[in-house]
Chain A
Amino acid sequence: METKANKKKLSRDSILIFFLKNRALLLVLVFSTLLTLTTRTFATSGNLMSLARQIAANGIIGVGYTFLLASDSVDLSAGYLMCMTGIVSGLLSQTGLPFPVILLICVVVAMACSSVNAVIENKFGLPPFLVTLAMQQIFRGALMLLSNGSPISNLNPGIIFMGQGFLGPIPFSVLLMLVFILIGHVIFSRTQFGRNVIAIGGNPDAARVSGIDVKRTRIYVAALLGFTIAIMALVSCGRVASAQTTLGGDTVMDIIAAVVIGGTPMGGGSGTVVGTLFGCLVIGLISNGLNLLHVSSYWQMVSKGVIILVAVILDVYSERIYDRMRNKE
């Protein structure tokens, strides 16, 4: 009898632990159920498809950002760097260069600019927060100088395809995001590089003593983030068929929220790329659902903030709940 009761209790505990570990999945389930029940338009294929396309761009950069947060770093400049890369792609489109060249130049520019953050942090031993805070302003100014402050349309058809194209029934951008998540997941959990990233996030001293080149790994992480920023820039410019100058600020906020809700803690040492996908879904669902419920965009901001707070509180509480389970008889 006793063992039976014990088993039952354990399985209940393990369900609780599963959902604490996959908070984003839990939130996705709760939100989708609520929206399915309260609106008629949510569970339609049209709406779900548009939801998927909304989160595609964030999902791509989310991969790079997961690595960054897991390595105990942060990047405030990512949003404006994304914008700047978009403007670069717009300017290059005007010159009539073929798409692969434009893609290559954008990737190089974003990777280089993003790596500069890590190089400065390494060289002068500065915290990422301060370095990227300053770099954010630099990128912001640079993109205004490049664009004269106005958006650029007439983009290369390749860029339009990245944002709007379809492969069969599936939007190309969604497919791209899934590929990024999959490859990102394998790199994060299965490779030497992924292991190095968690180690330097968890205990940089121990990692260094164990022969891991901490500084070089930080630069690689920044470069990887730059790569995802470039792809994201092309996807989001392609989606609206113009390179915007004002999208930068909110992007970082959304990405950090998505990654943290997904289960990668600020402070590093662990992380999950698949969780980031669900984190992006949560953020996407909030906007999508509140639109469907005709909530004003100002209230959307407030509620997004509240939900992020709740997710972070859940993060702290789940640790305590584990502790309590350990200490419980």
Chain B
Amino acid sequence: MKVLEVKDVSKNFYSTHALSGVSFDLEKGEVLALAGENGAGKSTMMNILLGSFPPSRGSMLLNGEPYEPKSPSDALKKGISMIHQELCLVPSMTVADNVWIGRCGRFSKGGIYFPRLCEEETQRLFDEYGIELNPKEQVKNLSTAQMQMVEIARAISYGSQIVIMDEPTSALSDKEVKVLYKIIRQLTKNGVSVLFISHKLEEVFDLADRVTIFRDGHMVGLHKVSELTMDDLINGIAGRKVENLYPKIQQEPGEVLLEVKNLGKSGVYDGVSFRVRAGEVLGFAGLVGAGRTEIMQGIYGIVPADTGEIYIDGKKVENRTPRQGLSHGIAMVTEDRLRQGVVKKMNLRLNMTLAYFYKICKFGVVNFARERADTEDMIRKLHVKTAGSDAPIWSLSGGNQQKVMVGRALLNEPRILILDEPTRGVDVGAKSEIYEYCNMLAAQGMAIILISSDLPEVMGMSDRVMVVRGGEIVAEHKRNGATAEQIMGEMFGIAQ
């Protein structure tokens, strides 16, 4: 039975065609994946389904009836809910309150709200879908991954016919991803249909029944997943042949640039020692919360370490603030793009030069011509897709914002570059561009430290891989020195 039919839907913004002539349908209890690069039109399609704005042309049918949502809350009433990519939770409220936010009337008697009823209902929901969270916990005490689970729980708590998931796993560790898989299977068993957007193509193959491919606002294919290979999918999304997703250039590493000895911070990480050479890409694999980000923050100076020593070029240095890290030739692209990365009210240029403009100041006055030239140079080098260097940062897609963050780090001409989850929420095309650029930088003698929760990525990119678990380095592998299963086992602490 068809739950949703989308017929020839188009959307124009001014003169750009964000979406043209898209048609697909969704069966009851089916998982349909939407694949495509950032800016291919997936988000526009979702926004139309949710009623954020109407289509310019075309129509939609929900259960055979015309469907014209006026707003996201209207869509919700008609049975379509969405898990948002960005977290929208109230940190000071409990898990249960957040799940049922705006609906506490259900747990009220005579106008008086009973938190206990709400918590019990939440526990029932968590039990049914295998979510391991305490409904009474305050959301501000949760990790990012756990918050994402709350968000997921909220979306399914509406009992909708269709649940839209936009990059639901981007903030999840492998453990929670498994729970999400279970949730999706349970949902479809209950007859709920799922629209699933993900840049992790493995997930498309694991979860989806069918996949639609978007490219430049057009729908270029609708396939059964069982009749598709990974290469077909990648080539369909990119519109060109992506020969090798991880274009590694092998080369001899040079001198040791950075050495860390016994770095520790009580309760977070301990006894961390490693070296990185010029021209080397050193990967850090591990689960979310294993302490990888915190170690790098200690080295760069965001949250200084308590104990241990950092040597650059054999000389001992102190990095107590990011400024000190920068002055010692370290630059870091932080993991949390929204919180520690972009400044929303600034334009692309100001964002790009944020960590660097003080270097091109004369008597405190910014050299605008130089700033503009350097920004535009970086835009070209990194292939940032934008209307120009003065475009507002929010007008860029996630992948292109990430390139701006990389540009911000590179403008400082660092010798050691730390990339913390540089490709999270970034499409295949932008991913391979970032990889290629990394390799070029390494070839020019930069030392690169790469943190990634995407195991194929960290294995494909790195000369050596360090595995971090519980704040300690538990293993080190040369390139091709271990299988994915072996590393995965070490990440979880399971002996193979």
Please report A residues at the B interface, Cβ cutoff 8 Å: 6, 186, 190-193, 195, 198-199, 202-203, 205-213, 269-270, 326-329
A198 partner residues in chain B, CB cutoff 8 A: 343, 345-346, 350
Nearest-neighbour CB distance to chain A for B255, whole angstroms, equals 25
Complex Cα gap A329–B354 (Å): 34
Contact (Cβ within 8 A) B345 A213 = no
A269 partner residues in chain B, CB cutoff 8 A: 343-346
Secondary structure of the A side of the interface? helix
A207 partner residues in chain B, CB cutoff 8 A: 343, 354
Complex Cα gap A190–B367 (Å): 8
Contact (Cβ within 8 A) B361 A329 = no
B29 at interface, CB cutoff 8 A:
no
Query: Number of contact residues on B: which range applies?
Result: 20 to 34
Contact (Cβ within 8 A) A202 B343 = yes
Contact (Cβ within 8 A) B358 A192 = yes
27 residue pairs of the A-B complex, CB under 8 angstroms, read: A6-B15, A191-B366, A192-B358, A192-B361, A193-B364, A199-B343, A199-B346, A199-B350, A202-B345, A203-B340, A203-B342, A205-B340, A206-B340, A206-B341, A206-B343, A206-B354, A209-B302, A209-B322, A209-B334, A210-B354, A211-B323, A212-B354, A327-B13, A328-B13, A328-B14, A329-B13, A329-B14
A190 partner residues in chain B, CB cutoff 8 A: 365-366, 368
* B334-372 contact mask (Cβ, 8 Å, vs A): 1 or 0: 100001111111100010001101100100111010000
Given A191-B361, A191-B365, A210-B322, answer yes or no on A202-B56 (Cβ-Cβ < 8 Å).
no
A213 partner residues in chain B, CB cutoff 8 A: 321, 323
B162 partner residues in chain A, CB cutoff 8 A: none
B332 at interface, CB cutoff 8 A:
yes
Given A209-B322, A211-B326, answer yes or no on A195-B343 (Cβ-Cβ < 8 Å).
no
Contact (Cβ within 8 A) A329 B343 = no
Complex Cα gap A328–B357 (Å): 36
Nearest-neighbour CB distance to chain A for B45, whole angstroms, equals 15
Nearest-neighbour CB distance to chain B for A296, whole angstroms, equals 41
Given A190-B366, A203-B343, A269-B344, answer yes or no on A210-B408 (Cβ-Cβ < 8 Å).
yes
Nearest-neighbour CB distance to chain B for A17, whole angstroms, equals 13
Which A residue sits closest to B332, measured CB to CB? A209
Contact (Cβ within 8 A) A202 B302 = no
Contact (Cβ within 8 A) A206 B342 = yes
Complex Cα gap A213–B408 (Å): 17
Complex Cα gap A230–B364 (Å): 24
Which B residue sits closest to A265, measured CB to CB? B345
Complex Cα gap A202–B334 (Å): 17
A270 partner residues in chain B, CB cutoff 8 A: 345
A193 partner residues in chain B, CB cutoff 8 A: 364
B12 at interface, CB cutoff 8 A:
yes
Complex Cα gap A195–B358 (Å): 9
B14 partner residues in chain A, CB cutoff 8 A: 328-329
Complex Cα gap A33–B240 (Å): 62
Complex Cα gap A198–B347 (Å): 12
B53 at interface, CB cutoff 8 A:
yes
Q: Which of A210, A269, A270 has the most CB of B within 10 A?
A: A210
Which A residue sits closest to B345, measured CB to CB? A269
